[in-house]
Amino acid sequence: MGSVSSIFRIRNLNPPVDEDRISRIESVPVDAANSHLSMLYFYGLDDQGHDKIVRIWFYSSRMFREQELNYIRLNFPHIPIV
């Protein structure tokens, strides 16, 4: 399998994630205290089968995060997004 790469290239802030490590992606709500920060959590499973975060991607706005999610949905439809 390949890797999931961000469509936004900002000083390597959002490095690629190995596709086989991802069990689901969670869109994190925007923090009311900092509306300029938006995130995606990439979850995988540890050796015991428990959820763990394997990568976090950061965005300067909700709009950028939603663009990224649309790209992932289109190109990686088998990865669940919650």
pLDDT in tens, 66-81: 999 999 999 999 999 9
Host domain of residue 28: 3-75
31 falls within a domain? yes
80 falls within a domain? no
- Write out pLDDT tens, residues 5-64: 988 766 667 899 999 999 999 998 777 777 788 899 999 999 999 999 999 999 888 899
81 falls within a domain? no
Written in H, E and C, the secondary structure of 3-25 is: EECCCCCCCCCCCCEEHHHCCEE
State how many domains the chain has.
Answer: 1
32 falls within a domain? yes
13 falls within a domain? yes
Name the pTM for this structure.
0.87
